[in-house]
A and B are shown apart, each in its own frame.
Chain A
Amino acid sequence: MGKRILVLDDDQHILDILTYILTEDAYEVKVLADGHQVAAAIEQFDPALILMDVMLADLDGWVICRHLKERPETSHIPVILISGTHDLAATLHQQGAPNDFMTKPFDLDVLLSKIKAQLV
């Protein structure tokens, strides 16, 4: 089995498509629609990378990312944030920044190459 990727997004369509693409590219995918469960999911699934939408139901993906980066147990896991705005470019230099980001609508090829880059 390939490397494990945890995908967090509350849009079912996106989750379906991402699952399909990533699976086709030989990754093992777990999807999560609810940000509250991210800690448990990480512990259980032990992903090699986390793909997360900035806007989740009730939660800010950016806050979750910072949280993950500050905890020693999870700080090593690369995180790619997906956002509808371009603000994230500036945040790459702040504390708790994700490893990379994508803007919506995203290009599948670009996404795949970013993931690959993070998993090298």
Chain B
Amino acid sequence: MQQTDFQNLQNMVLQAPIGICLLDATTMVAELLNDKFLEVAGKPRETIIGKFYWEPFAEVRELYEDALKNVALTGEPYYANEVEMTLIRNGREEQVVVTFVYNPIKDEKGIVVKIAVWVVENTIQAKARNEMGALNKKLTSSNLDMQTVNTDLSRLNSELLLSNKNIHLLNLRLQESETDFKRLVEQAPVAILVFRGPDMVIDLVNQAMLEILGKDASLIGKPLLEGLPEIKGAPAVDQLFHVFQTGEASDGNEAPVPIKTNGVVETRYFNFSYRPLLDKGKIIGVMDVAVEVTAQVLARKTLEANEQRLQSILDTMAEGVVIVNAAGQPTYANPMAQQIMGISEEQFKERDYNDTKWHNERLDGTPLLREDHPMYVVMRTGQPVFDQEIAIVQSDQEKIYISINAAPLRDGGIISFTDVTSRRKQLQQKEDFISVASHELRTPVTSLKAALQLLDRMQGNIRPEVLAKLLGQANRSLNKLSDLITSLLNTNRISQGRFPVHKTTFAIGNLLRGCCQHILSAGSHEIIQQGDLELQVTADEQQIDQVLVNLLNNAVKYAPQSRRIILQVEQQTHAVKISVTDQGPGIPADKVSHIFERYYQADRSGGELSGLGLGLYISAEIIEKHGGKIGVESKPGQGSSFWFTLPL
């Protein structure tokens, strides 16, 4: 550290935005302090300067005297970050939060000669993160000019005279002061840079700053932008030049500055304070006191990024998530939760989990008591609950079923849930289907068994026509049984994806002729085939046959009075459309939409009309597997036309 005047050094220290007090390491007497220090201390200058430190600061002596002694002994600085203490300021007791350092100042031999107290008050920003030397407050710029410096010096002088020191000591004192200042700045726990002139020539850079920049003292004497070219354009740098031009002090918080470390340019973050340096009222340079806060900023940014990621997961996930506080009151409900329940987040926050507006019910329809609600159980036992189903009535009076997972949080709980209404409906339908199916299967078995039992009874004593009738009955029952079982198996295979399609090319007319045989031979119906019958199609012949037989059988079954069934083949642009039309009673609109569903039976009657209701479902699956479409046009009283398409 060379070239800078003692006076300018002094200026700097006295004007610094950080409270500084210099103590003799042996006597702990305060030899120097600045205005900022007085501001934080809240005591008059004369009570501190020249006094044993713990006299004016008796109120905190017990807390820190040992630490101070230790600094002198070990040469290690003592840091206190955002500590609370009670200080007597301006005559009153005040609770303050300060950050301070007892910084040892060593001579060339490494002996601790002085201790510098650097202090910053954070009472107002006590909630902010740790900052060494927080420089957020705007200082009332009170530029000390030479006059004030002289006044201070003369006060020093007079104090010395008052205490009966001689001139010799005074000279020594002055010399010591310069060294003190130099060392103060050099060994400060904050980074300090001093710039001169419009080019911001680097006049002084202390150890702390050199470490941050990763540079050596060769920086001194270079203009800023020459010594650190990588920082050009950073807003903090522009601010610096602005301070020189206008003489206005300025501070910066978490300013990003690109710095080259080990050949790589990284962005690092600083809290800084710029103060103009004046000489006889003219701006000659700028003092920069800076603290690096890169670690905190990066940590905070990582935290923010994590929070954002978490938030977007919550926002987009397919489960509803609600967070409740310790009282069971929702404090957050993600978009899916709002969608499932049909209410806004605000409305969520108005009700707790047991609010009557939910109409919580058990699965059997009885009201769900508070004690049985999963959230209550979780908060009482502290154990999570999984996959518990309850019913809730939505805002538009529709009852839905949800499956809840609930878990306790440190100060409340978290519920995630999915809408399982369709899952339950499917289960219900399946169960209904199974009971119908078992009944249906029993019927042919019953008549088969009865027929055989009869035959058994009548052995040797049976009239031929009775024998023929019973055998015929037994066979028909068995066939029926066989068909039902095949339907069931096919459905099962379809749902398991084991329903392969083997395609061949054939004339559609041949297939139509073949599948009508059994109806035509019964003689009850007339089947008219029309359209592009010789069209070649590529499909699984057996499966398409199944579809046609199913549609034809349905026409016969459900429209027995309609003597005429029309089979039509129509060529379209990229497909062939085949339709089976009858003139029966038609199908009501509300059934049409469900008619191809798996477990749907349009007609629940027994007897000849019975079946498992799988025919249309299987047909639909077959057509879909072929890449075609299936549908029905029907109006009550006007017959039905079932159609399907196959791609050509």
A interface vs B, CB < 8 Å? 10-14, 16-18, 20-21, 33, 53, 55-58, 84-85, 104-109
Partner of B446, one of A10, A33, A105: A105
Measured between beta carbons, the chain A residues less than 8 angstroms from B457 are: 108
Q: How far is the CB of A28 from chain B (nearest CB, A)?
A: 19
Q: Are A17 and B606 in contact (CB under 8 A)?
A: no
B interface vs A, CB < 8 Å? 435, 438-439, 442-451, 453-454, 457, 466, 469-470, 473, 476-477, 604-609
| 28 interchain pairs, CB-CB under 8 A | A10-B607, A11-B446, A11-B447, A11-B607, A13-B447, A13-B451, A14-B443, A16-B473, A17-B451, A17-B473, A20-B466, A21-B454, A55-B606, A57-B606, A57-B607, A57-B609, A58-B605, A84-B443, A104-B443, A104-B445, A104-B446, A105-B446, A106-B446, A106-B449, A107-B449, A108-B453, A108-B454, A108-B457
Partner of A12, one of B454, B469, B470, B608: B608
Q: Are B607 and A17 in contact (CB under 8 A)?
A: no
Bound-state CA distance A61–B65 (Å) is 99
With known contacts A17-B451, A17-B454, A21-B454, A56–B606 Cβ distance under 8 A? yes
Measured between beta carbons, the chain A residues less than 8 angstroms from B466 are: 20
Bound-state CA distance A33–B608 (Å) is 11
Q: Are B450 and A11 in contact (CB under 8 A)?
A: no
The residue on B at minimum CB distance from A18 is: B450
Bound-state CA distance A106–B448 (Å) is 11
Q: How far is the CB of B475 from chain A (nearest CB, A)?
A: 11
Compute the total of residue contacts between A and B using a CB distance below 8 Å: 72
Measured between beta carbons, the chain A residues less than 8 angstroms from B607 are: 10-12, 33, 57
Bound-state CA distance A56–B454 (Å) is 24
Measured between beta carbons, the chain B residues less than 8 angstroms from A106 are: 446, 449-450
Measured between beta carbons, the chain B residues less than 8 angstroms from A13 are: 444, 447, 451, 473, 476-477
Bound-state CA distance A14–B439 (Å) is 14
Q: Tell me whether chain B's interface is mostly helix, strand or loop, or mixed.
A: helix
With known contacts A16-B473, A21-B450, A108-B453, A10–B605 Cβ distance under 8 A? yes
Bound-state CA distance A89–B88 (Å) is 93
Q: How far is the CB of B452 from chain A (nearest CB, A)?
A: 10
Measured between beta carbons, the chain A residues less than 8 angstroms from B445 are: 104-105
Q: Which 3 interchain pairs have the tightest Cβ spacing? A: A10-B607, A13-B447, A57-B605
Bound-state CA distance A105–B445 (Å) is 6
Q: Are B439 and A55 in contact (CB under 8 A)?
A: yes
Q: Are A11 and B443 in contact (CB under 8 A)?
A: yes
Q: Are B450 and A17 in contact (CB under 8 A)?
A: yes
Given A58-B604, A105-B442, 12 additional A-B pairs, CB 8 A: A10-B605, A10-B607, A13-B447, A14-B450, A16-B469, A18-B450, A55-B439, A57-B606, A104-B442, A105-B450, A108-B454, A109-B453
Listed residue (A17, A58, A106) with the most chain B CB atoms within 10 angstroms of its CB:
A17
Measured between beta carbons, the chain A residues less than 8 angstroms from B443 are: 11, 14, 84, 104
Measured between beta carbons, the chain A residues less than 8 angstroms from B444 are: 13
With known contacts A11-B606, A12-B608, A85–B446 Cβ distance under 8 A? no
Partner of B606, one of A10, A18, A21: A10
Q: How far is the CB of A54 from chain B (nearest CB, A)?
A: 9
Measured between beta carbons, the chain B residues less than 8 angstroms from A53 are: 606
Bound-state CA distance A12–B445 (Å) is 13
The residue on A at minimum CB distance from B448 is: A105
The residue on A at minimum CB distance from B449 is: A105
Q: How far is the CB of A88 from chain B (nearest CB, A)?
A: 13
Bound-state CA distance A108–B458 (Å) is 13
Measured between beta carbons, the chain A residues less than 8 angstroms from B470 are: 17
Q: How far is the CB of A110 from chain B (nearest CB, A)?
A: 10
Measured between beta carbons, the chain B residues less than 8 angstroms from A109 are: 453
Bound-state CA distance A13–B606 (Å) is 12
Measured between beta carbons, the chain A residues less than 8 angstroms from B438 are: 84-85
Q: Are A84 and B442 in contact (CB under 8 A)?
A: yes
The residue on B at minimum CB distance from A13 is: B447
Measured between beta carbons, the chain B residues less than 8 angstroms from A20 are: 454, 466
Q: How far is the CB of A108 from chain B (nearest CB, A)?
A: 5
Measured between beta carbons, the chain A residues less than 8 angstroms from B439 are: 55, 84-85
Measured between beta carbons, the chain A residues less than 8 angstroms from B477 are: 13
Bound-state CA distance A58–B609 (Å) is 12
Measured between beta carbons, the chain B residues less than 8 angstroms from A55 are: 439, 606
Bound-state CA distance A16–B450 (Å) is 10
Measured between beta carbons, the chain A residues less than 8 angstroms from B447 are: 11, 13-14, 17
Q: How far is the CB of A27 from chain B (nearest CB, A)?
A: 15
Bound-state CA distance A105–B449 (Å) is 7
Bound-state CA distance A33–B439 (Å) is 17
The residue on A at minimum CB distance from B458 is: A24
Bound-state CA distance A21–B438 (Å) is 25
